[in-house]
Amino acid sequence: MRTIPLKYNLRSLRVRWLTTGLTVGGVALVVGTFVALMALASGLSHAIGGVADARNVVLLYRGGISEAMSRVSLGAFQALRFLPQIERGEREEPLASLESLVQINLERKSGGETMVILRGMRPIGLRVHHQARLAQGDWFTPGTGSCVVGRGIAERNVGCELGGTVRVGHTSFRITGVMEAGGGSTESEIWADLDAVVGAAHRDWYNSVAVRLREAALFDGFAAAVRSDPRIDLGVKTEAQYIEDQAEGAEGFRVIGLIVAAFMALGAALAEMNTMYSAVGSRTREIGTLRALGFRGPEILKSFLAEAVMLAIPGGLLGCAIGAMMDGFTMSVLSLATVSEVTFRFQVTPAILAAAFVFSVGIGLVGGMLPALQAARLPVLEALRKV
């Protein structure tokens, strides 16, 4: 009988139920906040980026960071369109999509105005962005003034359901379809024919080019070909890289979430330390007795550390439960990269929950270490004499 039974710690926690409860509550708050903020960042980064296709490539003016802050000329597009690395579709048409982005204002159902992206592309663009699927209706067709709206837009804005119209200047686009893309940013966009969009916006320039390569390994050859052509003033990025650049804002959120969690965790760990010191202080005689019974210092240390962790774990589990309730919660935010509003859903992933649990155990260990050391080092005789 060299180990102190955990039951001893459990009972001690139960005797001091008020203090135990308050400490558990504190840890639950920290962990719950951590889970919610991480779920927000994860959902946001998914919504801004979507899922990258390894064969897709994005070309922007001088390798800029966002399609909204890029300008592509028809000449540059024609120069790159027939590069051999690009996949061909029916009738040998290259899977290269010249695109135009126009931010337009829509009226929210909940009141106020929002800005969304109207993306113009030729039908070949649908082959490049093959992740988008129709939820209702049909894709847009050139020459008919039709458009397709993302699911998020159809849900949140006035007159944007199937059959409604979107106005750009004096031009109207009839909504013939609703698309979805697994929660990605496409769900916050409107797609229509390129020439119709450019005409409605009175522009003689475009924003970006999206290209699908024959295979992902051809990227370097494609990038070199683009660089060596003086007619092409565009930078090449893989879709994954582009998404990563876009999601930097969401990354910022993750950092903010971590800072918030760190501050709160510091507060909780100190509170836990307080609780454990008090536990050690009021049980000095008990500790003396345990030592007299033959338990060694390291055993006492282990026992008190276990108690600290046992104090933190219910808080961690409770926090995970609170945070998990946020899963699927929908929000929207202004994306500065594209100057438009993006809708996203909180994503509570198993990784986040696991991290939160480890986090709570960490709070327990950090908060319990010093008090447990103190307990282990108590001189036996003095401890026994303490009233």
Q: Per CB under 8 A, does 281 bind another protein?
A: yes
Q: Per CB under 8 A, does 202 bind another protein?
A: yes
Judged by CB under 8 A, which of 7, 112, 143, 294 binds another protein?
A: 112
Judged by CB under 8 A, which of 126, 162, 258, 339 binds another protein?
A: 339
Write down the least CB distance from residue 90 to another protein, Å. Answer: 33
Which one, 139 or 329, has the nearer CB to another protein?
A: 329
Write down the least CB distance from residue 220 to another protein, Å. Answer: 22
DSSP symbols for 40-109:
HHHHHHHHHH----TTEEEEEETT-S-GGG--B-HHHHHHHHT-TTB-B-GGG-B-EEEEEEEEEEEEBT
Looking at residues 309 to 338 of the shown chain, list those that interact with another protein (rule: CB under 8 A): 331-334, 336
Q: Per CB under 8 A, does 23 bind another protein?
A: yes
DSSP symbols for 238-293:
EHHHHHHHHTHHHHHHHHHHHHHHHHHHHHHHHHHHHHHHHHHHHTHHHHHHHHHH
| Contact status, residue 227 vs residue 63, Cβ threshold 8 Å | no
Three-state DSSP class for 294?
coil
Judged by CB under 8 A, which of 134, 277, 355, 369 binds another protein?
A: 277
| Contact status, residue 138 vs residue 177, Cβ threshold 8 Å | yes
Residue 119: which of 128, 110, 111 has the closest Cα? Answer: 128
CB atoms within 10 A of CB 354: 11
Cα gap 148→130, rounded to integer Å:
14
Cα gap 88→80, rounded to integer Å:
13
Looking at residues 82 to 101 of the shown chain, list those that interact with another protein (rule: CB under 8 A): 101
User: Is the alpha carbon torsion for 216, 222, 227, 233 positive or negative?
Assistant: negative
Cα gap 343→48, rounded to integer Å:
9
Which one, 25 or 137, has the nearer CB to another protein?
A: 25
Judged by CB under 8 A, which of 93, 155, 161, 248 binds another protein?
A: 248
| Contact status, residue 360 vs residue 321, Cβ threshold 8 Å | no
Q: Per CB under 8 A, does 158 bind another protein?
A: no
Cα gap 96→56, rounded to integer Å:
10
Judged by CB under 8 A, which of 52, 53, 69, 241 binds another protein?
A: 69
| Contact status, residue 166 vs residue 116, Cβ threshold 8 Å | no
Judged by CB under 8 A, which of 123, 137, 159, 267 binds another protein?
A: 267
Which one, 88 or 277, has the nearer CB to another protein?
A: 277
Write down the least CB distance from residue 87 to another protein, Å. Answer: 28
| Contact status, residue 51 vs residue 182, Cβ threshold 8 Å | yes
Q: Per CB under 8 A, does 341 bind another protein?
A: yes
Judged by CB under 8 A, which of 8, 52, 115, 214 binds another protein?
A: 115
Q: Per CB under 8 A, does 134 bind another protein?
A: no
Q: Per CB under 8 A, does 36 bind another protein?
A: yes
Q: Per CB under 8 A, does 30 bind another protein?
A: yes
Write down the least CB distance from residue 85 to another protein, Å. Answer: 25
Cα gap 166→197, rounded to integer Å:
11
Write down the least CB distance from residue 80 to another protein, Å. Answer: 17
Three-state DSSP class for 235?
strand
Q: Per CB under 8 A, does 170 bind another protein?
A: yes
Judged by CB under 8 A, which of 8, 63, 241, 258 binds another protein?
A: 63
Which one, 336 or 358, has the nearer CB to another protein?
A: 336
Q: Which residues bind another protein (CB under 8 A)?
A: 16, 18-19, 22-23, 25-26, 29-30, 32-33, 36-37, 40, 61-65, 68-71, 101-105, 112-115, 167-170, 201-202, 233, 245, 248, 252, 260, 263-264, 266-268, 270-271, 273-275, 277-278, 281-282, 331-334, 336, 339, 341
